[in-house]
Structure 1
């Protein structure tokens, strides 16, 4: 069996800047990836195809796809794209006219798709795909924290609330998750099992490269599926992946008059000013070539792994969803053609849930600390470069938990406490794994640090008011900060575990402990 797994995630960007980092990132990804990929899945479903891929949607991305501000901003962005294309089509030179005509058609189709399917948010779109059984949905914890470094109480809360958020949006509670950054430490499998999670993703090296079957983790029934790097890197490799082919659209080259992307990759060492114009026919030919190559890669890998283990093997390829369209313009075309070509080549396609149900599970594994980041360890989120953020996260979480315990100890917990709720929101937003990733990778590092400290400031400001007995002030601050972002309205601090359970994960000795109970 071949299983394709896509992980869809962006940090919370609404009302936190527009350009060069901020809402523009959301709208570009929405237009280039989320619209065309869901359209591909609907078309294939209309042909009677099902169980095509496993799609992870993080709660923080789902919240933005449903957010009224983001929906309005997206509609405006699509209209602006159409206007820019129209202006290009009216320019005197043939290159701009051809580019403008191509982009105008794309923008018009995107607008029609958005106005038809997305006007009430992303939840109806995704629920339709779930109901059609075209995808298996993977969930995840609220706000995308790097779970191995997170206090066990907050980790358990974040996971249970993330699964509850999925049910609220889609009337479906995922049994599988993509843990943020594929981060794992021993003990987390017990927390997953307590939360009703039956399977999750890890990177291939976490299973020492033996990804041919899912593996129950330690003493639990929770199965870890590993990303097959040999297959996955065929697509997404900085040195030899398909998106770097000369015929594909160049992501980094802009026409500064229109903001459109006029060039093809041309060559890896070719300067932007010397790149050749984009040619859709050349790109389409490359797509066909790479679909055929990937089908043969999967076929060869399945034969190789099945022969090695003496039974039918599983191959899992996993990518960020945003690769398909946002980073790799032709990605949605490739995806649609691939999902048609695989069954035609006799290759069984299924979801992770299908793989588990159909017995593609081997012997238990003593999984150790891992991630899918650089070095496959935790250096991206816990290294020297982000030591200040690690310390900030620790202080913020300690302050939040201590203050919330104080609030709950002094108030009637039969009633929801909006101050406690908001402190948890700000703590979770502070510890988002995105900020450390962006700093470690030097990708908008200043923006990332600013975001982490802004949410930390909000938490501290509210907590200081609580500590000083200024209840009215704390309520005002909590309401103001909640209005600034307005996400996760269902979050309820009363569901925070009162204390770490006896079997909770001990960060000082992670190999001899388990996760706390949600």
Structure 2
């Protein structure tokens, strides 16, 4: 069986800059990836096709796809795209981009104007996709305080329940990061399966593997197949005929050139040719189907039973980074069954027995070196220290600020504590360390981490000083700036005493 897994994620960008890093990143991904991919999946669902892929959507991205400010900004962005198409001097480019912008506007106004939840829920309810959840704000879980890690995961799964009417039993752990013992937390939260990178299973990804004695299954990404599409050095998107991501018309921002060659300067790139790109798509569809078929045969022969191949990618690769990606993906999802290859979700693989012997999974991620260096290395030592300090101050303040719950009296909701947690989770998002380690808008990433860390510490400090009214005022002000996850409730953060007691019992 073949399983395709897509991981959809962007950090919280609303009201935190526009360009070159900020909301523009969200709107480009929305227009380039989320609109065409959901439209494509809807077409396939209308044909009665089910269990096409496992679709991970992080809570922080889902929040933006439902946010009124982001929805309004996206509508303006699509209109501006149409205007930029009018301004293009090249007639062919102008016509092509105007047609694309008009189609995107129609899709957005018809299906998205009230948020993304309705669009995604339709795909889930029709069984076109399996929904994968995850923790709030995309943290690097192995480095988290266990109490906060547990809270973040359960809140993230509850957020999915509220948006889509289903609580995911599978997750894409942020950065595919894992530390021994997390499988028990997954089991407690009702998670039955999760993704890791291939090397975490020592390259043996032909079956899912229960982790130790938890019963929670780890599925590994098959690198030999996944890297045909996207790898650090090669892959289909680099083909000469495809539209070049990095080259654009400076007057309009529209992308008018093809890759042409990996060493060709932007000024020397050839004009984009849709017909040549279409021919390359067909070629790469056939190549991918052949690669999957060969890998399934090899692995089935090796293990002496039907094997599983899992290919996993960032959703934003398809359309945003690789313009032709959505077209390629639709053709692949049609071509695989036509070639006699069974496709299904990770949940299908688990329930249909594509599971082998338990594994003693060790520390891993899907980052450089497949270890934790991107998020815990020397280059981001300052952020690791900042995160530890912020979390410690936040949990200490919340523990001191919780109202009495004894004597039959319920603990009342405390919006101050809620905001401390909200800002803390935003501060420790894995995106900031990733962007610094990869030198991708590192200044913006550090600024974002420090903004949220300052907010958390400012509120926590007022609490610690016994300044309850001041803390509540600060919490309200920061919430007006970033009020995502309105259902986040600090009362569901386990007290230190109860967590330690249960830990000792276990």
Of 461, 465, 484, which aligns to 1:468? Answer: 465
Partner Cα distance (1:458, 1:58) in 2: 23
Partner Cα distance (2:77, 2:298) in 1: 47
Q: Tell me if 1:490 matches 2:487.
A: yes
The residue that corresponds to 1:213 in the other structure is 207
Q: Tell me if 1:332 matches 2:329.
A: no
Q: Tell me if 1:118 matches 2:112.
A: yes
Aligned to 2:49, what secondary structure does the other structure show?
coil
Partner Cα distance (2:352, 2:192) in 1: 14
| 1:37-186 → structure 2 map (5 Å cutoff) | 37-88=37-88, 91=89, 96-186=90-180
Deviations 1:57-100 (A, max 9, x none): 00000000000000000000000000000121xx3xxxx11001
Aligned residues: 501
Q: Tell me if 1:434 matches 2:431.
A: yes
Q: Tell me if 1:310 matches 2:277.
A: no
- 5+ residue gaps, structure 2, are none
Q: Deviation at 1:414?
A: 2.6
TM-score by length of 2: 0.98
Q: Deviation at 1:462?
A: 0.6
Aligned to 1:297, what secondary structure does the other structure show?
helix
Q: Deviation at 1:137?
A: 0.2
Q: Deviation at 1:503?
A: 6.3
Partner Cα distance (1:470, 1:239) in 2: 55
Could you tell which deviates more after superposition, 387-396 or 408-417?
408-417
Q: Tell me if 1:348 matches 2:345.
A: no
The residue that corresponds to 2:381 in the other structure is 387
Partner Cα distance (1:213, 1:49) in 2: 24
Q: Deviation at 1:47?
A: 1.0
The residue that corresponds to 2:449 in the other structure is 452
Partner Cα distance (1:427, 1:238) in 2: 32
The residue that corresponds to 1:509 in the other structure is none
Q: Tell me if 1:253 matches 2:247.
A: yes
Partner Cα distance (1:501, 1:219) in 2: 22
Q: Deviation at 1:246?
A: 0.2
Deviations 1:400-439 (A, max 9, x none): 0000000015687531100000000011001100000000
Q: Would the aligned equivalents of 1:291 and 1:334 in 2 still touch at CA under 8 Å?
A: yes
Deviations 1:163-194 (A, max 9, x none): 00000001100000000000000000000000
Q: Would the aligned equivalents of 1:5 and 1:319 in 2 still touch at CA under 8 Å?
A: yes
Partner Cα distance (2:502, 2:211) in 1: 17
Q: Would the aligned equivalents of 1:152 and 1:504 in 2 still touch at CA under 8 Å?
A: no
Aligned to 1:201, what secondary structure does the other structure show?
strand
| 1:8-27 → structure 2 map (5 Å cutoff) | 8-27=8-27
Deviations 1:363-396 (A, max 9, x none): 0000000000000000000000000000000000
The residue that corresponds to 1:287 in the other structure is 281
Partner Cα distance (1:470, 1:389) in 2: 28
Could you tell which deviates more after superposition, 2-11 or 401-410?
401-410
Aligned to 2:402, what secondary structure does the other structure show?
helix
Partner Cα distance (2:241, 2:53) in 1: 27
- 5+ residue gaps, structure 1, are 506-512
Q: Tell me if 1:370 matches 2:370.
A: no
Partner Cα distance (2:38, 2:502) in 1: 41
TM-score by length of 1: 0.95
Q: Deviation at 1:117?
A: 0.5
Q: Would the aligned equivalents of 2:424 and 2:456 in 1 still touch at CA under 8 Å?
A: yes
The residue that corresponds to 1:196 in the other structure is 190
Partner Cα distance (1:343, 1:503) in 2: 48
Q: Tell me if 1:6 matches 2:3.
A: no
Q: Would the aligned equivalents of 1:413 and 1:494 in 2 still touch at CA under 8 Å?
A: no
Deviations 1:1-22 (A, max 9, x none): 0000000000000000000000
Question: Structure 1 residues 105 and 45, CA, compared in 2 at 3 Å: closer, same or farther?
Answer: same
Partner Cα distance (2:328, 2:30) in 1: 18
Aligned to 1:137, what secondary structure does the other structure show?
strand
Of 223, 227, 231, which aligns to 1:229? Answer: 223
Partner Cα distance (2:500, 2:469) in 1: 33
Q: Deviation at 1:239?
A: 2.3
The residue that corresponds to 1:262 in the other structure is 256
Partner Cα distance (2:420, 2:296) in 1: 49
Partner Cα distance (1:413, 1:386) in 2: 42
Q: Deviation at 1:238?
A: 3.1
Q: Deviation at 1:240?
A: 2.2
Q: Would the aligned equivalents of 1:403 and 1:466 in 2 still touch at CA under 8 Å?
A: yes
